[in-house]
Amino acid sequence: MTEGKGLRGAYDTVRARTEQLCAPLHVEDYVVQSMPDASPVKWHLAHTTWFFETFVLTQACRDCAPFDPAFNYLFNSYYNAVGERLPRPRRGLITRPTVAEVYRYRAHVDSAMRRLLSAPSSLVAERTVLGLNHEQQHQELLLTDLKHAFACNPLRPTYLPPRQGGASLGRAPAPVRWCSYPAALRWLGHAGGGFAYDNEGPRHQAFVHAFSLASRPLANAEVRTFLEDGGYDRPECWLSDGWAARQAQGWSAPLYWEERDGHWWHFTLEGMAPVEDAEAACHLSYYEADALARWAGARLPTEAEWETAALACPLEGTFLESERFRPGPPCTEAGHPAQMFGDVWEWTASPYVGYPGYRPPEGALGEYNGKFMCNQFVLRGGSFATPASHLRRSYRNFFPPDARWQFAGARLARD
C-alpha cells in the first residue's frame, strides 16, 4: 500500500481519505448502529485513531498520556490483551464523545504521529503500516455499515447523489467462459515484498487439482434467473444451514433487492436503482453464493484455486457502486480471467483456517487475525469500496456464511 511514497505521505493520504468519505454525512449519520455486526461511523473514526494511539504512540512513548483514558474502553474493538471494552452491540448507544470531539481526537493523534514519523523507528514504521492497512479496512466497513443504516430508514437517504435515471440500461452480461488450470503442486500465500497480514503466510506448497474458473463473477442476470426458477424456495439447492438461515431470516432475494411492479430494484449508496443484469451480483451470503453454484451445476472455487488464477490478474479498483461492471475478454490470451479485483468480493469454498505453519504473533496484535479462524469463509479479490492500494492477490478477507451486508458476490468453478 505504501510502496513508492514515503510513510509520512501515506499516513496523510489514508487518514485524509477516511475523512473525505464522511464529507457527505450529517452529524446524525455518524451515531447510528443498525445491527450488532455493524458499527457507527463515529466509532470507525475513533477506533482507527485509537489503533495508532495504542499500538504506535503509546509504544513509542510509554509516559505519554492518552488523549482520554476512557477511550480505551470505548474504542477497543476486540483486543482482550488491551483490557475491558464496550460490548459491540452497544456502540450505537454512545452519544459522547461527540463527532466534533472525535475529529479533535483524530487531529491530536495525527499531530503526534506526524512528529513520530519524521524519524520513525523500525517498530514505529512497521506498526504504522499495519495501522494504515487497518484504517483502509475500516474505510470499506464504514461504507458497508453506512449503507445498512441508510437502508433501515424508510426515507432512504442517499450517500451520493443518484447517477441513474429510473430506466434500466438493459445490457446483458458477457457470456461466461471457463479458464482452465492443470493439476499442480503450487506455491501459495504472500511471497514477500510489501505489506501483508500475518494470515497471508507462511508461503507454502499445496497440491491444487485441475479446475476451471469462470471468466467473470456471477451477474445479476443469473441471480434473477435463479429467483425465477424458484431457487429461494428449493431446499435441494441449499446447504442445510443455509436453508435454515433462509427460513429463519426470510430471504427471498439478495439483500437490498425490492420488487416494484414486476421489476427488481435495489438500494445503493446512490439511492434506489434498477437491478442491472450485467452488473456483478452483490450482497450475497455464502449460503446464497453456494446455492447459486449448485443450481448452476458448478461450485465455488477454493482459495487456492482463486489465488492460482489471480496471479496474472491486474490489481485495479475503486469504482462507484453503479459501475460494478467491466466488460472484457472472458479469459486473457494467457488463459486467465481479465478482472478479479475491484467490483465485488468473491466468496470461496474455503473455510477460514491458518495456513500450514501459521502462528499468530505474540501480544495483543496476535489477536488481529488468528482468533477468528473458525466459522467463517474466505473471500478474495476486493470490492469497488476497497481502496485500490489495499488490493492484493494473497489477501484473505473472511466473514460468517450468513453475512450479507458486505459487498460480496461469487465466481463459479468446475472440476
Q: Does 248 bind a copy of itself (CB under 8 A)?
A: no
- Choosing from 62, 65, 182, 240, the residue that interacts with a copy of itself (CB under 8 A) is 240
How far CA 341 is from CA of 172, 337, 390, in Å, comes to 21, 10, 11
Nearer to a copy of itself, 56 or 188 (CB): 188
Nearer to a copy of itself, 160 or 353 (CB): 353
Nearer to a copy of itself, 117 or 269 (CB): 269
DSSP string, 288-320: HHHHHHHHTT-BPPPHHHHHHHHTTS-------
Which residues, numbered 287-316, are part of the site for a copy of itself (CB under 8 A)?
A: 287, 290
Which residues, numbered 170-199, are part of the site for a copy of itself (CB under 8 A)?
A: 185
Task: Return d(Cα 156, Cα 268) in angstroms, integer.
Answer: 10
Asked whether 292 and 223 are in contact (CB, 8 A), the reply is yes
Residues 6+ apart with CB under 8 A from 47: 39, 75, 76, 77, 138
Q: Which residue shows C-alpha cell 483486543? A: 79
How far CA 96 is from CA of 30, 130, 302, 411, in Å, comes to 11, 28, 44, 43
Q: Does 23 bind a copy of itself (CB under 8 A)?
A: no
Q: Could you tell me the smallest distance in angstroms from the CB atom of residue 186 to a copy of itself?
A: 9
Instruction: Report the sign of the C-alpha dihedral through residues 67, 68, 73, 77, in that order.
Output: negative
Task: Return d(Cα 244, Cα 248) in angstroms, integer.
Answer: 6
Q: Could you tell me the smallest distance in angstroms from the CB atom of residue 56 to a copy of itself?
A: 22
Interacting stretch for a copy of itself, rule CB under 8 A, among 88-96, 132-140, 319-327, 331-339? 88-96
Q: Does 97 bind a copy of itself (CB under 8 A)?
A: yes
Q: Could you tell me the smallest distance in angstroms from the CB atom of residue 351 to a copy of itself?
A: 4
Nearer to a copy of itself, 10 or 21 (CB): 21
Residue 41: closest CA among 92, 105, 2: 92
- Choosing from 64, 107, 123, 152, the residue that interacts with a copy of itself (CB under 8 A) is 152
Q: Could you tell me the smallest distance in angstroms from the CB atom of residue 379 to a copy of itself?
A: 15
Asked whether 291 and 242 are in contact (CB, 8 A), the reply is yes
How far CA 320 is from CA of 193, 269, 323, 384, in Å, comes to 30, 9, 5, 6
The residues that touch a copy of itself, with contacts defined as CB under 8 A, are: 26-32, 34, 42, 70, 73-74, 78, 80-81, 86, 90, 92-99, 149-150, 152-155, 157, 185, 204-207, 209, 235-236, 238-243, 287, 290, 349-351, 353, 356-357, 371-375, 401, 415
